[in-house]
Structure 1
């Protein structure tokens, strides 16, 4: 490692950690290393060959492949996408992060009446759009998207025809589950209504990587020396604002200790571990407060 310049440690060799290393290297930094807890880099991006194709074990596609999407920009730079995904027409499609429905089938394999299906999807989409309008206030801070959607159903279902009521409720149940997948949550009751509109949905039809999502990881890693990535280094503690001696006799403000007792010193640390939003929040310097939203479950969906 070059002894000149600040020493930087990056915790985590997922896409964020690798991208941070790439940016540092592009700007002339050479004294950086990535500490990765596992025996591989890439984080939640993992592609594996299967039969004559491949399987994405982690991330699968680019959501909103258009110029405003940094993943799309990198993938285009490295020529990793198909010509269809790169077409201007594909990049301009506005789906707001949701799939298109041309044909809908029931669990028994029966095709659903197209008019009924389109009507339910249109209703649900309008309610979702309405839920995004509370970012500037107008709702209880503890209200969830789930409770809001159920209330919209209650306000509407009395006007539905009786012979289609059961079918519409079944379709709505499926759309609820789909929205949980899109929002990355177990329940829409865990998605706050007051802030859901802050998420920006980019245009473009979702696309995959012909050579696997991990091809993007490989190209990013190739932009800096491979020995900058240290695998099997699970971090236990980060000590900062201290005075720690390095092997070069310098004093560093940060010391990172791994689970095996090995230590690394640095001037700066970039932490890129995934910060999941769970059913708890931290408040008052680490006090754990239960944060389960208690919503009115008039309709069980």
Structure 2
């Protein structure tokens, strides 16, 4: 840092949020010689949407659990290898399924595999089909998905009514699983552009339930303890001003904290979730954000995906099974996906068996998205246990299925510092809006360089890898590099 700015004084940088984006940004700045870097975190522990809780015999992941793209093209995977954490990443490609129906049938594995290929093929082709087949009115993934379902069923017109119901039920199960993947109420809320913009990394998804807290601790090793302030929520970020410190130095940004403290800074990197930006953008920034950015924040998609953990004294399932699929033969994707809070458990398409049993005990985990995911946060553990016991007894046809001895439900929607899980491109937004969210403030006037007073990071600001931990990490590194380049020799 040899520019004129750095000769005056070491720039003061405040990072709002100690998720992987904020920790990544702070770590890179500190490694490059920035010494006045402060992280403030609203929660009592760092991590943001990387969070674990004690359940059963071990810790379980509340949030991030999968490495999406287990290859050296993924910065998370690179760090996993660098820090010798590979033993915490499991290959989940060879999973054993047991698919049950609400009429107590266990579906043939070959049949379910065939239907799985049909469903994934529809989803993979979604944006291409919209162009190739002239769906000029298509805006959402549901528009294309449902058209393809209709064409598929036309080819199966000779099927027995029971077989047709099973096919529709499996496609509905797949549709619900895809909503969980996208953290959305329904595919009708998700733009076709989602599949065009989001980029998969080679290597497949790898299950890593204990990895991310370990990795976060490794990244925090370069951050001095006094540089991380916990339970320090930011109340307001005042920018484009001139604030004088006690020593007479002037700063363009001031962060007001909920506890009354004020922190002056040359640069603030904001890494809070899009859910919090949606809820608090009117009060969080002074002056207010530009109108087009406020519109982008409101229009971008951000939803909830929760996990429901169930611990049992003894398993009622075959312990060789990894995933239990739940197919409702009275459901069809053609009827759309309307919230059903009365029967919220219908929104759980699959239940995973947590392994290895020696480490975790006899634990199942279901995933759920949408309004039902928000609703389940309001239920007591006893209500959740009762509903799942009824569900499992119905699907297995066994009245003897026991109730769980303990239940744990994640609560990402009611968490005031997340207000949901992760982002997607909604039918009201574009990928350009993601880029807009990543632009620093004040916005650059044509012919001038940006002043970099307020910078933005977090998964929702990464166009290609939004909704992922590697997208969040890369966004933090991106904003750190922006400041590093700003203070480099011109």
- TM-score tier by shorter-chain length is 0.7 to 0.9
SS in 1 for 2:15: strand
Find the counterpart in structure 2 of residue 118 from structure 1. Answer: 113
**Distance between the aligned counterparts of 1:100 and 1:157, measured in 2?**
29
Matched, 1:75 2:80: yes
Matches within 5 A, 1:2-17: 4-17=9-22
Q: 1:153-187: per-residue Cα shift (whole Å, max 9, x none)? A: 11221221322211100100110011111122221
Superposition RMSD in Å = 3.2
SS in 2 for 1:233: coil
Q: Aligned pair in 2 of structure 1 residues 38, 151: CA closer, same or farther (>3 Å)? A: same
Equivalent pair of 2:14/2:38 in contact (CA under 8 Å): yes
Find the counterpart in structure 1 of residue 180 from structure 2. Answer: 181
**Distance between the aligned counterparts of 2:245 and 2:192, measured in 1?**
49
SS in 2 for 1:111: coil
Q: Aligned pair in 2 of structure 1 residues 140, 169: CA closer, same or farther (>3 Å)? A: same
TM superposition shift of 1:270: 0.5
Q: Aligned pair in 2 of structure 1 residues 16, 291: CA closer, same or farther (>3 Å)? A: closer
SS in 2 for 1:255: strand
TM superposition shift of 1:142: 6.7
**Distance between the aligned counterparts of 1:119 and 1:36, measured in 2?**
47
Matched, 1:107 2:112: no
Find the counterpart in structure 1 of residue 153 from structure 2. Answer: 157
Q: 1:112-136: per-residue Cα shift (whole Å, max 9, x none)? A: 1234323322221221121133798
Equivalent pair of 1:7/1:267 in contact (CA under 8 Å): yes
Equivalent pair of 2:101/2:107 in contact (CA under 8 Å): no
SS in 2 for 1:218: helix
State the TM-score, normalized to the length of structure 2.
0.52
Find the counterpart in structure 1 of residue 42 from structure 2. Answer: 37
SS in 2 for 1:105: strand
From 15, 23, 27, give the equivalent of 1:18: 23
From 138, 144, 147, give the equivalent of 2:143: 147
**Distance between the aligned counterparts of 1:210 and 1:145, measured in 2?**
30
From 57, 71, 92, give the equivalent of 1:66: 71
Find the counterpart in structure 1 of residue 356 from structure 2. Answer: none
Find the counterpart in structure 2 of residue 96 from structure 1. Answer: none
Q: Aligned pair in 2 of structure 1 residues 221, 198: CA closer, same or farther (>3 Å)? A: same
**Distance between the aligned counterparts of 1:184 and 1:268, measured in 2?**
32
Q: Aligned pair in 2 of structure 1 residues 292, 219: CA closer, same or farther (>3 Å)? A: closer
Structure with greater proportional helix content: 2
TM superposition shift of 1:146: 1.4
**Larger RCO (CA within 8 A; separation ≥ 6):** 1
Q: Aligned pair in 2 of structure 1 residues 120, 238: CA closer, same or farther (>3 Å)? A: same
Find the counterpart in structure 2 of residue 300 from structure 1. Answer: 336
SS in 1 for 2:269: strand
**Distance between the aligned counterparts of 1:21 and 1:289, measured in 2?**
24
Extract unaligned runs of 5+ from structure 1.
94-98
TM superposition shift of 1:234: 1.0
Q: Aligned pair in 2 of structure 1 residues 257, 135: CA closer, same or farther (>3 Å)? A: farther
Q: Give the length in aligned residue pairs.
A: 282
**Distance between the aligned counterparts of 2:125 and 2:211, measured in 1?**
36
State the TM-score, normalized to the length of structure 1.
0.82
Matched, 1:269 2:264: no
**Distance between the aligned counterparts of 2:256 and 2:147, measured in 1?**
50
TM superposition shift of 1:290: 8.4
Extract unaligned runs of 5+ from structure 2.
1-7, 279-289, 302-332, 338-490
Q: Aligned pair in 2 of structure 1 residues 122, 143: CA closer, same or farther (>3 Å)? A: same
